[in-house]
Structure 1
Amino acid sequence: MNERILIIEDDQDIAFIEKDYLEMSGYTVVIASDGLAGLNEALSGTYQLVLLDVMLPGMDGFEVCRRLRDKVDIPIMIVTAKREDIDKIRGLGFGADDYVEKPFSPSVLVARVKSQLAQYQRLKGSSLRKKSRITLGNISLDPDTHRVFVGNKEKVLPNKEFQVLEFLMVNADMVFSKETIYDKIWGMDSLGNTATVPVHINRLREAIEKDPNKPCHLLTIWGVGYKFKP
């Protein structure tokens, strides 16, 4: 195992507990103690996952997450003491893939890290298999090159948002519950939360819809789920 993990955490006691348990599981771990340093390290190094605290000096974890997601496509896990759902949804809205609440069991943290890395590798592996380009209306998606175009304009999507869009486009006009979408994209062995799905749908709408508040393609079927309308 040669995965490298970056921990961005200003509480050194917590950071070293995370580091010790992850290193015992075979990972290489680097610690950054403030938001700006962590952002720069994440952008300059080669990491397979980032563990990101929310309350950081210099730049908070939400802003770090937003800036990272614009540049890198790796799992980002928010580690937070905040328990309000709005904070979890905010983190997911900025592109985080999962969250862990403090206090946490180190063994649970390691399990969730392994789950995120395994899921990411499965998604990367599936993208290597030859697939046909999908074009529906003015939206075109190429699974092999991981590119999406709305008209002639390319839209850069994080891996999971790409996978959600691909799943819905392949199954156009079919309605899927958020639980079904979650199982298909994140996997039944994932330890996250189905609240992730509507957050990613909203981010997709911002990327591909002319008016995200009045979507023409990514439709909500109230009480049922979501579908892609060509």
Structure 2
Amino acid sequence: MRDEPIMLVDDEEGILTMLENILRKEGYSHIVKAGSAAEALMAARTTRFEMIVLDVMLPDRDGFYLCSELRKTVTTPILFLTARSSDLDKLQGLYLGGDDYVTKPFNPMEVVARIHAQLRRSNHYASEASNNEEVYRYESFSVNRSTGQLIVGKADTPCPAKELELLLFFCKHPNRIFTAQQLYEQVWGEMVQGDEKTVVIHISRLRKKLETDPSAPQLIVTLRGIGYKFVPPLRGQL
């Protein structure tokens, strides 16, 4: 049995029950269901979830609001599962802190596979961190793998799990060029065609945290038609 706490948020009881049953068959024993944003926020105050699956259309507040509220205190991977399928909705969900986005109608086993992938990467990340403290210190920021802490200037800056993993990957491979697809495979841990957009959004969010001028990035540089590379700033003590 797997005891990673998972929260499922949807106002359709049938979807909640179906996902819960499938996840229990896959060995997950700690599953919490919420039918509204208020229920989800209350549950998140008392339980540290390892994974959150989140609908957008909820009866009280929409899932985009809920995601932004959760991201104030939670770095847990968030998977949007919703009938809102436009590119604008996907971009908004990713910008607000979502790690993945699946549209309804969906294949339940695809959702479970994506949950597996997110948890596998998170557990691998936590295991490596506990055995290997990895700290990168630069003139403008520092990032600590073992504590999951990002310091920009002298400010402790919240950084969701996937953003942190992406930044650590860049720090570990300075001045190397990676395509968006390569970054997705390395950080998200799976090969899914068409998920480059997820990488683009996460890079944009990192730039807003790290760059003096995110519209003219100097740290995470775009090489048009080729990919991205991390150009380290000067090393130093913050």
Q: TM-score, normalised by structure 2?
A: 0.88
Deviates more, 1:200-209 or 1:180-189: 180-189
The count of corresponding residues between Structure 1 and Structure 2 is 230
Aligned-residue offset at 1:225: 1.3
User: What is the identity, as a one-letter code, of the residue corresponding to 1:19?
Assistant: E
**1:48 and 1:144, CA in 2 relative to 1: closer, same or farther beyond 3 A?**
closer
Give SS of 1:226's match. Answer: strand
Q: Which runs of 5+ in 2 are unaligned?
A: 234-238
Q: Is the 8 A contact 1:98 1:192 kept in 2?
A: no
**1:84 and 1:161, CA in 2 relative to 1: closer, same or farther beyond 3 A?**
same
**1:2 and 1:189, CA in 2 relative to 1: closer, same or farther beyond 3 A?**
farther
Deviates more, 1:139-148 or 1:199-208: 139-148
1:19 corresponds to which residue? Answer: 20
Query: How many angstroms apart in 2 are the aligned matches of 1:25 and 1:217?
Result: 41
Q: Is the 8 A contact 2:16 2:33 kept in 1?
A: yes
User: Which structure 2 residues correspond to residues 30-109 of structure 1 after superposition, within 5 A?
Assistant: 30-109=32-111
Q: Is the 8 A contact 2:133 2:146 kept in 1?
A: yes
1:8 corresponds to which residue? Answer: 9
Aligned-residue offset at 1:66: 1.2
**1:30 and 1:146, CA in 2 relative to 1: closer, same or farther beyond 3 A?**
closer
Residue 145 (structure 2) pairs with residue 143 (structure 1): yes
Give SS of 1:71's match. Answer: coil
User: What is the identity, as a one-letter code, of the residue corresponding to 1:125?
Assistant: S
Deviates more, 1:106-115 or 1:194-203: 106-115
Q: Is the 8 A contact 2:126 2:146 kept in 1?
A: no
Aligned-residue offset at 1:80: 0.7
Q: Is the 8 A contact 2:7 2:31 kept in 1?
A: yes
Q: TM-score, normalised by structure 1?
A: 0.91
RMSD value, Cα: 1.9
User: What is the identity, as a one-letter code, of the residue corresponding to 1:14?
Assistant: I
Aligned-residue offset at 1:100: 1.9
User: What is the identity, as a one-letter code, of the residue corresponding to 2:128?
Assistant: S
Query: How many angstroms apart in 2 are the aligned matches of 1:146 and 1:110?
Result: 26
Query: How many angstroms apart in 1 are the aligned matches of 2:39 and 2:197?
Result: 30
Aligned-residue offset at 1:132: 4.5
User: Which structure 2 residues correspond to residues 214-225 of structure 1 after superposition, within 5 A?
Assistant: 214-225=216-227
2:156 corresponds to which residue? Answer: 154
Query: How many angstroms apart in 1 are the aligned matches of 2:9 and 2:135?
Result: 38
Give SS of 1:120's match. Answer: helix
User: What is the identity, as a one-letter code, of the residue corresponding to 1:162?
Assistant: L
Aligned-residue offset at 1:113: 1.6
User: What is the identity, as a one-letter code, of the residue corresponding to 1:86?
Assistant: L
1:183 corresponds to which residue? Answer: 185
Q: Which runs of 5+ in 1 are unaligned?
A: none
Aligned-residue offset at 1:131: 4.0
**1:125 and 1:101, CA in 2 relative to 1: closer, same or farther beyond 3 A?**
same
Q: Is the 8 A contact 2:9 2:54 kept in 1?
A: yes
**1:143 and 1:90, CA in 2 relative to 1: closer, same or farther beyond 3 A?**
same
2:114 corresponds to which residue? Answer: 112
Residue 221 (structure 2) pairs with residue 193 (structure 1): no
Q: Percent identity?
A: 34
